[in-house]
Amino acid sequence: MFDKLSEKDISNALDDLSSTLGFKEEVAVEPFLALMRREDTQRCVQEIALWLGLPVQIDLSYVSKDFKAGDPNRFHSDQLSKTDWTGRGIEGITAQVAIPKYMPTYGTKALEGYHIRVRVSENCHEQPATFIAIMAHELSHVLLYSLLHPQRDSELHTDLVPVLLGFSDIVGTGRKVAKLSTKGNTTTQHTTTYGYLTDSQFQFASDTVKTAVAGHSSEKNSLREQTAQIHLKLRIARRRLARFRKYLQHIDKNPKAAVKPGHAPKLVECHGLSYTREWEIAIEQTEGVLHEVEGFIEPLNHYTSRAVERLNQYPHTLKLTSKQVDDLVSVITSDLRVLRKYVGPIRKLLSVLFQ
């Protein structure tokens, strides 16, 4: 464990990793646990890899939980848990991921579907949360190696990757396993801690990441509220545009002899073939902006530096868009006031009721 590490050391490591990996919202744990309950370990490990952003193919194999020292199939993940004097994981839940010497680089086509060998003990289903925490750690090694990260051999950085990428809660649950043993009248609790961070260090890292994610999530929700408000304004613009057209049709079918001199140029202008085209274009452009923003924020759960940059840009974009829709509604409303003077009261009422 890293007993002598300060919170500053952990913050620096988080900053170093987040500049490359970003922050991810918490993963929904139940689907992973359900896979473990069904003993579909292959699928579970595959899904862990995908959530970490690894587009690899997991090749899973099992070894006996009762392996003996000297057994050629013996292995243990000594980066993950305290071990007893035999070198074996105290809980007997072990995992090992083979990292190829020449592994494809992250983001390249070669990494897609690349086979990664994973060996797990046959009793891995006994402690599903612990197993998921172990696999998240082991596959984080693979992720850092594929990124050629300068700290890819650091156990501190590897311990922090799952926290950054949404496995904080499940790691928090699975990193400690407590068992009771009774001898005579004495009951003793034995606790195994997986990972290198102390409890306080893990909590600090988890809280730091969750605070960052909550801030970005709040920004995302703010954008969602802005788009909803613009949708309402856009609906008003469409309704008033439709009313404008109906008023114009009614005036053409029921012309009035008396037209105020000041209104004549406006009525002529309103009859222009392309008069409403600018309004239609403005509505289409607004719909395009909303489609772009919503297409970005709805699936967003991974706050990379690029994603955060876009989060910071869109409020200004939406503010301008909202102002443009306000101006559009104002212009259409102004023209409606003129047309309304040449539409009968019944027609006015019907045009309002049936929009």
pLDDT at 183: 60
Contacts within 8 Å (CB) and 24+ apart, 216-223: 216/23, 216/303, 216/308, 216/311, 217/25, 219/311, 219/312, 219/315, 220/297, 220/300, 220/311, 222/315, 223/293, 223/297, 223/311, 223/314, 223/315, 223/318
Nearest-Å Rg of the Cα atoms of the chain is 31
41-51 vs 30-37: helix crossing angle, rounded to 10: 160
DSSP structure class, residue 126:
G
pLDDT at 265: 80
- Between CA 145 and CA 139 the distance in angstroms is 10
pLDDT at 63: 79
pTM of the model: 0.81
* CB proximity list for 13: less than 8 A, separation 6 or greater: 151, 154, 156, 157, 160
Q: Strands, DSSP E only, in the chain?
A: 23-24, 57-63, 95-97, 115-121, 176-183, 186-193, 302-303
Contact criterion met (CB below 8 Å) for 175 and 133 = yes
Which residue reads 């443009």 in tokens?
324
Burial class for 310, CB neighbours closer than 10 Å (0-12, 13-18, 19+): middle
DSSP structure class, residue 26:
P
Q: How do 115-121 and 57-63 pair as beta strands?
A: parallel
Contact criterion met (CB below 8 Å) for 23 and 212 = yes
pLDDT at 346: 46
pLDDT at 291: 97
- Between CA 145 and CA 21 the distance in angstroms is 13
* Alpha carbon 201 to its chain's center: 25
Which residue reads 């309103």 in tokens?
270
Closest by Cα among 239, 171, 237, 222 to 201:
171
30-37 vs 128-146: helix crossing angle, rounded to 10: 110
User: CA angle at residue 29 from 24 to 31, to 5 degrees?
Assistant: 120
Give every residue of the chain whose pLDDT is below 50, as ranges. Answer: 68-70, 72-90, 187-189, 346-350, 352-355
